[in-house]
């Protein structure tokens, strides 16, 4: 056919591939290419299309290149939306989830993404969550999973726990509208803090991660180095431990501030002090930025070095979960302390103990705090006077150590991972609570602890707790009556280990096989949204390191790191029309877009404002991937999405620009048809490249080689996929124009011989195959048929074209060109050429034109001297 019909040829090739997967044996080692598995929400959106296109192109390329590629897909299938659908629409979460998976899988297939579907799994299947539970138990048995009391968002009307996302900015429940309360519950934690130091320092090993993601992780882990300092309390035995990063400022301390949960504050409350009880109550509505404070009556702290007494406050700016929930207040050198002191001790002076090295230090403000650490200790600090901040800190900590009143210490901001959810649609925590034996793990042989089939979703408390039959069990230890844990696991637990399972997705006895995971992990390329830059990646790194420590896998070559290279793809923004008069968002059907360059609002005939914004229902700027594929086909959709922006940038999706890609595909196809006709007409069935190429052939051949080299680099190393698309279109144009020039040529030396043309055309098809698989496969089949060769897929493993040595060019050596005795420029020449050929070649170069024509003026070439073996050409003008 003169035109390829999309998406018909997509369907045709999808079913052929299914029946005949590409043949060939990998020779180059493994390549684990992973895109973050999706939540089965119901439909693919353009963001999915973008990320799976990227991973598919890279996976297809690596197979062609001869790698053993693992390119799996699965479903992060537990979680809240399924449960909400159950509550709102009475649909079983299982049924809802499975229907969504089916739909989205169909959409992925329409995109022609080559996932290894035989490894597919959903985290909500008992075969998977059995292993999630098994891993929970290994953590529990080694003390990495523990229970503690922690606050939750509690909806007092629905009597249920809410996720943070279910609490509106007004502090009300999304469902009942009730004011959400904080309530303390016993909950499960994973001890990620045990790995805080490694998670921090090993970021350094991740050379192929975006710096921004690493610094977000670093910030989240929040390693800080400082000291613990012990203050006494006047008149009692109590000691106050304080964490500070600035021991050098110890002589500038004017007060101690404590969090509301600090034992000293709690004791004062118990002692019945009404003022503080009231203040602590009020504190609940204060933010961390508040500068309020309340002085603990009659209590004073004792400075560890000077022995002077200091007031003690309770203050909302002190966090109870950091350090010891206690701050030594240094108004002169800390902004928060400065503001606090001004408000709570108005008019009282404070000591400056760090001075700038120069009075012109721009950070120094005589009326504010000096927070820089590049100063020196002030004369008032006595024996420490003149020391730098670092030296001062060291000297002070040394002295404190000698007195037993302080020591060096490191603190982390990261907290343990709260994994329990009071929800139904998650993996049940495999624990039994027995009144006699306490917390008892479910024996491994009894896993999985299955979710009950049907449950009343509406109602109060945890859904699982409502199912009496499920909850009441016999204690595995004492056979007495006991109760199951009714919390389920955070879905982040499911998604923190899934990539270990793909290499051997059927393993039934173990979550993942030691051999296969050690062989395939670290993942070579992980692609996903930047919204997962912190939690998902951090939890995954924690699990991978913990599993390595437990001997579940080798730990790989990066000290237990799971992902060697990370790409965070940019968002896809939609074309958004607004009415310039009312600033209202316009529906696409309100705008006449028949001329894509000049849309008009139908009602007013005005031009709408056009912008690109995050796709959303309220802006009418969403694009449905399925519509797009059925309209333009998978190939054009894929190529367009890659072409519009570098993979990490925001992409402005504009349907009207896709014609450019369609034209390219059309041109390539028609060219292939023309070449195929020539091949068929020639009757030749065995083509081989001639030993010597003519000039025109060499030019074409070099273009092909050059594009192969660029594409190899782009798909294998730099992932500059947008420029790759333009390289394909450029090469297509050169092949086509070389072909038509050759057809119009009158001299044989200006014609391109059929084997050379076929070689160029086949290679163009081959290297564009990862991006436009159906078109390439159709072109490939056509070219094979014309040669009367049996069909084989363009995707045969290891069939990527090697870059060939340029035999004809080996003799091209740079020659210095002298004009009237002066060296002017250089030109690549073959020593074996005759003088005419050399003169012509030199004259054709831009420099030749410049020096021999433009600048020569009326002078003409008198003589050309080409001494043998000297790589020079001398002109006498």
322 contact choice in Zn ion, ligand ANZ, none (CB below 5 to 8 Å, kind-dependent): ligand ANZ
Alpha-carbon distance of 162 to 244, in angstroms, equals: 35
Beta strands in 726-865 (DSSP E): 812-819, 822-830, 863-865
Residues 299-318 that bind ligand ANZ (CB under 6 A): 318
Q: What are the angstrom distances between the C-alpha of 224 and each of 227, 375, 388? A: 10, 20, 19
Residue in this structure with the two tokens 């684990």, named with its chain if needed: 32
131 binds, among Zn ion, ligand ANZ, none (CB under 5 to 8 A by kind): none
> How many residues belong to the site for ligand ANZ (CB under 6 A)?
17
Considering the rule CB under 6 A, would residue 112 count as an interface residue with ligand ANZ?
no
What is the distance between the alpha carbons of residues 770 and 767, in angstroms, rounded to a whole number? Answer: 7
Q: Which of 424, 630, 494 is nearest to 135 (CA)?
A: 494
Query: Which window, 156-164, 245-253, 263-271, 528-536, contacts ligand ANZ (CB under 6 A)?
Result: 245-253
Residue 243: contacted member of ligand ANZ, Zn ion, none (CB under 5 to 8 Å, by partner type) = ligand ANZ
- Considering the rule CB under 6 A, would residue 228 count as an interface residue with ligand ANZ? no
Contacting range for ligand ANZ; rule: CB under 6 A; set: 244-252, 568-576, 720-728, 832-840: 244-252
Q: Which of 328, 334, 325 is closest to 310 using CA atoms?
A: 328
Q: Is 411 in the site for ligand ANZ (CB under 6 A)?
A: yes
Q: Is the peptide bond before 448 cis (omega within 30 degrees of 0)?
A: yes
Cβ pair 260, 314 in contact under 8 A: yes
Q: Give 746's contacts (C-beta < 8 A, 6+ positions apart).
A: none
Indicate which single residue of 228, 334, 504, 778 sits in contact with ligand ANZ (rule: CB under 6 A): 334
Return the SS3 of 239: strand
Residue 478 binding partner per list ligand ANZ, Zn ion, none, with a CB distance cut-off of 5 to 8 Å that depends on partner kind? Zn ion
Q: 285 vs 445, which CB is nearer to Zn ion?
A: 445
Write down the least CB distance from residue 471 to Zn ion, Å. Answer: 15
Q: Which does 249 bind (CB under 5 to 8 A by kind): Zn ion, ligand ANZ, none?
A: ligand ANZ
Smaller CB separation from Zn ion, 430 or 574: 430
Check if the beta carbon of residue 52 is closer than 8 Å to that of residue 111. yes
The C-alpha atoms of residue 467 and residue 474 are separated, in whole angstroms, by 15
Name the minimum Å distance from CB 308 to ligand ANZ: 16
Does 322 engage in binding with ligand ANZ (CB under 6 A)?
Answer: yes
Nearest of 503, 720, 501, 500 to residue 68 by alpha carbon: 503
Binding of ligand ANZ at residue 397 (CB under 6 A)?
A: no
What residues does 376 pair with on adjacent strands? 355, 388
Which of 50, 246, 421, 638 binds ligand ANZ (CB under 6 A)? It is 246
Instruction: At 622, give phi and psi (nearest 5°).
Output: -75, 150
The pair phi, psi for residue 210, each rounded to 5°, is -65, 135
Residue 463 binding ligand ANZ, by CB under 6 A: no
Distances (CA, A) of 1 to 378, 664, 674, 784, 837: 87, 17, 12, 16, 45
Q: Which of 105, 147 has the CB closer to Zn ion?
A: 147
Report the candidate in 240, 238, 269, 235 with the shortest Cα–Cα distance to residue 255.
240
Could you tell me the two tokens for 179? 């004011």
Task: For ligand ANZ, give the closer residue by CB, 319 or 865.
Answer: 319
Residue closest to 409 by CA, chosen among 201, 197, 227: 227
222 or 476: CB nearest Zn ion: 476
CA distance 581 to 609: 10
Q: Residue 246 binds which entry of Zn ion, ligand ANZ, none, with Cβ cut-offs from 5 to 8 Å by kind?
A: ligand ANZ
Choose the binding region for ligand ANZ from 320-328, 543-551, 705-713, 850-858 (rule: CB under 6 A): 320-328
Q: Choosing among ligand ANZ, Zn ion, none, which partner's interface includes residue 177 (Cβ < 5 to 8 Å by kind)?
A: none
H/E element, 768? helix 754-768
Select the residue interacting with ligand ANZ from 148, 319, 458, 603 (CB under 6 A): 319
Give the integer Cα–Cα distance in Å for 647 and 51.
9
381 binds ligand ANZ (CB under 6 A): no
- With CB under 6 A as the contact rule, the residue among 50, 333, 457, 466 that binds ligand ANZ is 333
Is 540 a residue that touches ligand ANZ (CB under 6 A)?
no
- Which does residue 330 touch among Zn ion, ligand ANZ, none (CB within 5 to 8 A, set by kind)? ligand ANZ
**Cβ proximity to Zn ion, 9 vs 434, nearer residue:** 434
Closest CB 224 distance from ligand ANZ, rounded Å: 3
Positions that interact with ligand ANZ (CB under 6 A): 224, 243-246, 249, 318-319, 322-323, 325, 327-328, 330, 333-334, 411
């Amino acid at each position: 056919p003169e035109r390829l019909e999309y998406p018909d040829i997509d369907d045709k090739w999808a079913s052929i591939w299914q029946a005949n997967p590409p043949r060939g044996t990998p020779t180059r080692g493994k390549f684990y290419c992973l895109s973050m598995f999706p939540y089965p929400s119901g439909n693919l959106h353009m963001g999915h299309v973008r990320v799976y296109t990227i991973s598919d192109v890279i996976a297809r390329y690596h197979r062609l290149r001869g790698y053993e590629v693992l390119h799996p897909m699965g479903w992060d299938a537990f979680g809240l939306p399924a449960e909400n659908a159950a509550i709102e629409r009475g649909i079983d979460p299982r049924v809802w989830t499975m229907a969504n998976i089916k739909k989205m899988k169909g959409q992925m297939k329409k995109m022609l993404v080559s996932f290894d579907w035989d490894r597919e799994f959903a985290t909500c299947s008992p075969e998977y969550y059995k292993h999630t539970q098994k891993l929970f138990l290994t953590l529990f048995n080694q003390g990495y999973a523990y229970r503690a009391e922690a606050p939750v968002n509690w909806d007092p009307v629905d009597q249920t726990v809410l996720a943070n996302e279910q609490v509106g900015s007004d502090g009300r429940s999304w469902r009942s509208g009730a004011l959400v309360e904080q309530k303390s519950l016993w909950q499960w934690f994973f001890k990620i803090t045990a790995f805080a130091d490694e998670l921090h320092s090993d970021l350094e090993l991740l050379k192929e991660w975006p710096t921004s993601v690493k610094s977000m992780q670093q910030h989240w882990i929040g390693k800080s180095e400082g000291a613990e300092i012990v203050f006494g309390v006047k008149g009692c035995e109590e000691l106050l431990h304080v964490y500070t990063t600035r021991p050098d400022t110890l002589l500038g301390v004017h007060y101690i501030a404590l969090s509301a949960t600090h034992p000293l504050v709690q004791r004062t409350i118990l002692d019945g002090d009404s003022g503080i009880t009231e203040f602590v109550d009020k504190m609940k509505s204060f933010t961390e930025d508040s500068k309020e404070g309340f002085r603990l009556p009659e209590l004073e702290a004792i400075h560890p070095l000077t022995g002077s007494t200091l007031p003690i406050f309770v203050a909302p700016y002190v966090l109870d979960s950091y350090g010891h929930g206690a701050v030594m207040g240094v108004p002169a050198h800390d902004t928060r302390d400065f503001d606090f002191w001004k408000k709570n001790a108005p008019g009282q002076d404070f000591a400056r103990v760090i001075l700038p090295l120069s009075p012109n230090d721009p950070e120094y403000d005589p009326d504010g705090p000096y927070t820089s650490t590049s100063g020196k200790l002030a004369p008032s600090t006595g024996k420490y006077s003149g020391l730098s901040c670092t030296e001062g800190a060291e000297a002070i900590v040394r002295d404190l150590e000698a007195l037993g009143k302080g020591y060096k210490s490191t603190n982390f901001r990261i907290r343990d991972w709260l994994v329990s959810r009071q929800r139904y649609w998650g993996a049940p925590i495999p624990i039994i609570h027995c009144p006699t034996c306490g917390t008892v793990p479910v024996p491994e042989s009894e896993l999985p602890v299955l979710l009950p089939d049907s449950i009343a979703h509406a109602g109060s408390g945890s859904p699982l707790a409502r199912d009496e039959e499920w909850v009441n069990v016999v204690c595995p230890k004492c056979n007495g009556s006991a109760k199951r844990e009714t919390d389920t696991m955070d879905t982040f637990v499911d998604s923190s280990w899934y990539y270990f399972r793909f290499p051997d997705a059927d393993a039934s006895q173990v979550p993942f096989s030691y051999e296969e995971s050690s062989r395939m992990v670290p993942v070579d390329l992980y692609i996903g949204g930047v919204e997962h830059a912190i939690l998902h990646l951090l939890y995954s790194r924690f699990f991978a390191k913990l599993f390595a420590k437990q001997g579940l896998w080798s730990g790989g070559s990066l000290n237990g790191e799971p992902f060697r290279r990370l790409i965070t793809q940019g968002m896809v923004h939609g074309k958004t029309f607004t009415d310039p008069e009312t600033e209202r968002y316009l529906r696409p059907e309100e705008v006449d877009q028949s001329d894509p360059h000049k849309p008009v609002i139908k009602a007013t005939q005005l031009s709408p404002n056009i912008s690109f914004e995050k796709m959303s229902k309220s802006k009418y700027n969403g694009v449905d991937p399925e519509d797009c594929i059925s309209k333009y086909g998978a190939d054009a959709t894929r190529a367009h999405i890659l072409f519009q922006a570098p993979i990490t940038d925001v992409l402005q999706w504009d349907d009207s620009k896709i014609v450019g890609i369609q034209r390219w595909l059309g041109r390539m196809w028609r060219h292939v048809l023309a070449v195929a006709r020539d091949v068929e007409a020639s009757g030749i069935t065995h083509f081989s490249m001639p030993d010597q190429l003519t000039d025109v052939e060499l030019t074409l051949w070099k273009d092909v080689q050059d594009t192969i080299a660029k594409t190899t680099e782009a798909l294998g190393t730099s992932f500059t996929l947008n420029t790759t698309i333009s390289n394909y279109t450029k090469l297509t144009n050169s092949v086509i124009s070389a072909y038509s020039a050759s057809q119009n040529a009158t001299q044989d030396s200006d014609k391109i011989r059929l084997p050379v043309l076929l070689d160029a055309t086949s290679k163009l098809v081959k290297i564009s195959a990862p991006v436009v698989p159906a078109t390439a496969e159709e072109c490939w089949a056509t070219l094979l048929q014309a040669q009367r060769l049996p069909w084989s897929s363009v995707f045969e493993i290891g069939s990527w074209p090697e870059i060939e040595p340029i035999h004809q060019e080996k003799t091209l050596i740079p020659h210095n060109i002298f004009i009237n005795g002066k060296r002017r420029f250089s030109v690549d020449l073959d020593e074996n050429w005759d003088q005419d050929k050399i003169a012509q070649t030199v004259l054709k170069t831009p420099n030749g034109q410049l020096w021999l024509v433009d600048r020569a003026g009326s002078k003409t070439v008198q003589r050309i001297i080409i001494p043998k073996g000297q790589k020079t050409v001398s002109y006498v003008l």
